[in-house]
Chains A and B, each alone.
Chain A
Amino acid sequence: MNRGAPTVSIVIPTRDRREALQRTLDALARQTAPAEAMEVIVVADGCTDDTARWLREYRPPYRLRCVELPGSGAAAARNAGAAAATGEILLFLDDDIEPAPGLVAAHLRSHEGSADVVAIGPCPPFIPGRQDFWRVLVRRWWFDLFTAMAEPGHRFTYRDVLTGNLSMRRTLFARVGGFDAAFGPDASHEDWELGIRLLKADARLTYIADAAAWHHDRTNLDRSYRRARQDGKGDVLIGQLHPELRPALPLATRGPAPRPVESAVRALAFRAPAAGDALARLARRALDVLESLRLRRAWRKLNGATRRYWYWRGVADALGSQAELDRFLAYGRGPESTESVLDIDLGLGIAEAEWRLDIERPAAVRVWHGDVLIGLIPPVPGAERLRGRHLRPLLARLLGTPLSNAMAIEALPSSTRAPIGGLATPRRGAPLDAPLFVAESELSRGVHDLEVPAGYGAARVLIRARGRPLGWLTIWSPRSRRIPAAELRNAIAEQFGPGAWMALLDYTGDAETEAAQRDGSCPPITVVVCTRNRPEMLADCLRALLELDYPEYEVIVVDNAPSDDRTAHLAAELGVRYVREDVPGLDRARNRGIQAARYEIVAFTDDDARADPGWLREIAAAFADPEIMAVTGYVAPLSLDTAAQRLFELVYGGMSHGARQRTFRRGEMRNAQLLWASGMGCGANMAFRKRILDALGGFDVALDVGTRAGGGGDIEMLHRVVVSGHAVAYRPAALVWHRHRPTLPALRRQLFDNGRSFGAYLITCFRRGTVPRHAILRFAVQDWFARWILRRLVRPGAFPRGLVIAEMAGAILSPLYYLGAQWEARRRPAPGPMAEPDTQAGHTGAEREAALEPAVKV
């Protein structure tokens, strides 16, 4: 039934502000809306000036009524005005609001539908003139309020209901019961309390930017403190009327001030209000001084504390004592989540999710993507129930990181579901006392279920994205010993989101052309493996080397002073080149390998290491940059079955140098970094250009301290490469799996060798003077001995002291061993040309290689 243009009743409570009221009424006379549809009711609440008399003589074009009250407060005044209203729409304005000409029309338009709409219009402060600190804060508060409401996905809360510029249907107002008259003149926030009831009645709050008005705000700092006191009382009232909101009120939350300040201020307000008031007045004077000195931060802090004090004073007025306050707050979390929580799946599309939200209007939402839980959009007490248009902004603000992480994992291509075996319900911290199953997960092949073999309590999974290691994931194995892919995906998304994320970019290229380009830049490489009396382990290593994904390469086994010819047989059987170096010494063996190498790039690995299929490809990619002279890579543990292996890998740090690729150049490194050559790489995984090895004279055989573990020949060579001005690249994508020492005595021996070889290496550096000698001395004492060894002796953590002592012993004894090795090196003649026995050629060709190598350089 169309009744024509609805009439609107404008209710304006006022008290002793005739000029402001006149300005407002004059502005209402200039509205674009027809004056016949408007009725204005001014409620003069305890006016002592001539407001009432002036109103009687005022002749506006619209209907004007005046209601007089003896001073009952804004809530009662507005109720009285609403009771006297006859219009269909109620529009509340304050007497210091100056409406723009289109305000009433905009409000009328917003009620054209039949739904129960509560329309809020902007009334930002009109603050001309000098900007003092206080006004700056006030202005920002108001503007931000309206800017937030103007955002398309804003979730309205009761705090958005401000009666300065608010309209709703009169029937709605009557239905929710109007303002609560308990809010007398000394309590504020009656509009917020009305907002709570409106939200409970499921009214629809909207913001209409067209209903513009200016708020001629005449508050100053002192009035704001009075207002803070009223706010305190008002909040208590709200908490009493709506107990479920108590945890969300400012009384229950701490506020920005640090805890001691907050407690001090609260204690003052409750226990010693007289003293507190005096202090507050003193603070008020101090604020003026601070402002004149332009000390902004101090001013803000003091202002914050003072406001908070007055707020607590208001709370104390209402509650009386701190015990009451505790009882008031103890209501706290009532029955948890009787609120409706909706599960939505973004995998079905965001539009679908929004549609569901509009229909169901839940209080909280659990967001999924397929079977991955993204997160929870929590219920907010006092906010409207969720709608479709809230979803996107909330996702961006609250769940942005988990959402993008999950999408990154999802976007990776997946293949048929098959459980991954190892090479190896996330809980932090791997235990050191139970075997860990080592596995590898390549994200480009999708994330699948993980089968953990019997005997392992947890799995440690190396997550790789297109070859690059991102990091390790430790997951407990369930009783079924099968970790579902969903749980793995969740854990990966949570821990490696950003990493997987960036690696995702690798997929956005054209895979085929890139693969083709890569094949084009694959220079032939020689792989040298030095071994001594370990044919079983060597067999494993060689088999892995024979399966590398690389077009052209050769494998050379350098048999170092063997006691039998099992290794020779093995080499012949597998068809790799075999070279023999009779003088024991790892560096001699390496040099022998270099002599025998046919190609321009020589890669080294250990006989107890197993290379990843993509190892050489990554090395070649690094060598594509002509500046790079040496490449080192990531060394991952092959198994973590024994305690010694776990100690070495998890506590000592193992042999890896991290997941980030780096390039080492002399100009960018300090002396200490140059000397920590063990941070650049290790002999289990390194590659050089042959010409730099020749130019630098090969590995230093004087560092061969005669044991299987070898000396620091590898790090010394890396150090020499960098110090002579070339670049060494660390590329974690070039990966080998290393079998760590299985028993504690072997580990102890290895650490002893570590200490010994590093000491020998430092002595070599000192003698060569590659780095200023005083720097070496300082490094040896301060960085190596004190920080690395002694500190772990004093504070070992999980690492047994016995092992630290082993390393320290090696360090202390290193000069002796160095001298021994020097003497040994001088005693032995320079190695002559060795005959290479008849074996088949390397992996690539079919020709039999029987050439003698040229004479060795001295």
Chain B
Amino acid sequence: MGDAVVDFDLERGGRVEGLDGRKQALVLVRFRGRPIQQVTVPVVDGCISADEIRRRVYDVGAPGFQDRWLEVFLELEAPARAPIEPATVAVCTRDRPDDLRRCLDALAVFARAGHEVLVVDNAPSTDESRQIVEASGFARYVREDRPGESAARNRALREASHDIVAFSDDDAMPDPGWLPALLRNFNDPLVLCVTGLTMPYELETEAQRWFERYSPFGRGFVRTVFDGADVNPLTAWRAGASANMAVRRAALELIGPFSEALGCGTRSRTGSDYEFFVRILAAGYRIVYDPAALSWHRHRRTWNELRQVLRGYGTGVYAAWMHLLVAHRELIVPKLALGWLLHTQLPNLLRSLLRRPGSVPLDLLVAELRGCLVGPWAYVMARRELRRLEAIS
């Protein structure tokens, strides 16, 4: 059996039970509802004591703990200062009915609070998704026949009836506090996008554990504001992942839509969210990463899928860089690519070849590198495909 994933509140006592058969657990530690740290704790006799969790948190340190405590003590959290304005929650899905069902169950709480839930079905092959949406009763169904997550997201932005659109992947399950945490960051008019913390829903298989180790979605436990006037826009990957984000609808006019030559469903595999973030920062706006906006993501289970995912990352990053270099004349792209290669990819490769303890499996690294190699050409093909589709319609 794999590792357990536990959601633990720091003020709780006693022990966490029901973990028989597990060797260790990944514990998300919260304080007054806000995630402040994650620790890995060994499981003894099917349970973990609260003491042990606290000791590990103490050893690792939790920077957000003090901030959260201050917030609560000084009552600084703008509670319901003004009632939260309704927003749209959009889920883009494609042929994953089980995942969609789970996701909609998690989103029901937002629909009850008055927000709109929109499901964009992207070039589906069956009718199952539509049936699930209609069965739920609270979600609105939209069908977008052009393949690609960018096309689906752009459609969601156009169809939404509120000013802020929160996106969730269909294999993610947001926490009940997810949407308010995202929305409260939009008080600043310069913020165009807010991303949140994504934790793994389960760590049953080796592939899921390696995914979490190698390229986790989370970006830490401290709220960070990325300001386009301060940071280099091309480091926008630090701002988070699009499995869990909210975008202002006005971004369509200010920044433009998601690039349809990039992203899942196109030849470029991924990269549309990175390129979008780069454009936001390049135009001088802000992206906020708020770990209070928590969502649980079900990683791909099989090793093969993991390899495909990593290859997709390599392709997407290089495709996005190609796009930025060619279309936006960002001349710093080659320097970034070289930096990534020299500082991260090659050392990882070396460590893996020398079989050092804790190194990333070789086939994963090779898959990523192969993806990088085909990235630029994939982008060119994707552009051609796009033009062909546009010429048809």
Contact = CB atoms under 8 A, between A and B. Distances in A.
B350 to A, nearest CB: 16
Contacts of A144: 190
A505 B76 contact: no
B24 to A, nearest CB: 10
Interface string B27-52: 00000000000000010100001110
Nearest to B53: A505
Looking at chain A's contact residues, the main secondary structure is helix
Contacts of B190: 139-140, 143-144, 147
Contacts of B181: none
Contact of B69 (A404, A499, A517): A404
A499 B54 CA distance: 12
Nearest to A404: B66
Interface in A257-301: 293-297
Interface stretch (A129-137, A310-318, A737-745, A777-785): A129-137
Interface in B1-20: 10-15
B253 to A, nearest CB: 10
Given A143-B190, A294-B330, A668-B358, A505 B74 contact: no
A660 B57 CA distance: 11
Contacts of A660: 59
Contact of A503 (B42, B58, B358): B58
Interface residues of A, number: 49
B137 interface: no
B354 to A, nearest CB: 13
Interface string A383-418: 000000000110110001101100100000000000
B74 A139 contact: no
Contact of A136 (B70, B228, B330): B228
Interface in B76-96: 76
Given A400-B70, A508-B10, A513-B14, A140 B227 contact: yes
Pick from B15, B61, B62, B284 the residue with the most CB of A within 10 Å: B284
A468 B233 CA distance: 45
A498 B330 contact: no
B357 to A, nearest CB: 5
A506 B58 CA distance: 10
B66 A506 contact: no
A661 interface: yes
Contacts of A140: 190, 227, 229, 284
B70 A293 contact: no
B51 A626 contact: no
Contact of B188 (A147, A297, A468, A505): A147
Contacts of A124: 189
Nearest to B62: A502
A509 B13 CA distance: 4
A514 B50 CA distance: 9
Contacts of A668: 357-358
A506 B61 CA distance: 14
Contacts of B229: 136-137, 140
Contact of B42 (A139, A143, A393, A625): A625
Contact of B75 (A147, A392, A506): A392
A505 B59 contact: no
A285 to B, nearest CB: 19
A519 interface: no
A296 B232 contact: yes
Contacts of B50: 509, 514
A624 interface: yes
A82 to B, nearest CB: 32
A498 B51 CA distance: 18
B3 to A, nearest CB: 15
A113 interface: no
A514 B13 contact: yes
Contacts of B14: 509-510, 513-514, 517
A540 B62 CA distance: 41
A468 B58 CA distance: 11
B388 interface: no
Contact of B44 (A396, A501, A624): A624
Contact of A139 (B66, B71, B284): B284
Contact of A509 (B12, B42, B330, B357): B12
B284 A136 contact: yes
Contacts of B67: 400
A294 B331 contact: yes
Nearest to B255: A131
B362 interface: no
Contact of A502 (B49, B57, B284): B57
Nearest to A621: B51
A72 to B, nearest CB: 36
A626 B43 CA distance: 9
A696 B26 CA distance: 33
B358 A502 contact: no
Contacts of A400: 66-67, 70
Nearest to B188: A147
Interface string A488-518: 0000000000110111011011100110010
B337 interface: no
A147 B189 contact: yes
A730 to B, nearest CB: 11
Contacts of A506: 51, 54
B358 A667 contact: yes
B236 to A, nearest CB: 13
B353 interface: no
B55 interface: yes
Contacts of A625: 42, 44
A627 interface: yes
B29 to A, nearest CB: 10
B331 A395 contact: no
Given A143-B189, A143-B190, A661 B51 contact: no
A741 B65 CA distance: 42
A137 B358 CA distance: 44
B358 A403 contact: no
Contacts of A297: 232
A464 to B, nearest CB: 13
A296 B58 CA distance: 40
A167 B188 CA distance: 25
Nearest to B253: A128
Contacts of B188: 143, 147
Nearest to A141: B229
B346 interface: no
B336 interface: no
B189 A502 contact: no
Contact of B332 (A294, A393, A508): A294
A626 B45 CA distance: 9
Nearest to A668: B357
A667 B73 contact: no
A350 interface: yes
A143 B284 CA distance: 12
A625 B67 CA distance: 33
Given A502-B58, A625-B44, A135 B332 contact: no
B70 A403 contact: yes
Contacts of B44: 624-626
B343 interface: no
Contacts of B328: 294
A514 B51 contact: yes
Contact of A510 (B13, B54, B74): B13
Given A137-B229, A296-B233, 16 more contacts: A124-B189, A131-B284, A140-B190, A140-B227, A294-B329, A393-B76, A396-B70, A396-B76, A400-B66, A404-B73, A505-B11, A509-B50, A510-B14, A514-B14, A517-B49, A661-B59
List the 3 closest A-B pairs by CB distance, nearest first.
A136-B284, A509-B13, A502-B58
11 contacts: A131-B282, A136-B283, A137-B284, A140-B227, A140-B229, A395-B70, A407-B73, A501-B65, A503-B58, A517-B49, A621-B51
Interface of A: 124, 131, 135-137, 139-140, 143-144, 147, 293-297, 350, 392-393, 395-396, 400-401, 403-404, 407, 468, 498-499, 501-503, 505-506, 508-510, 513-514, 517, 621, 624-627, 660-662, 667-668
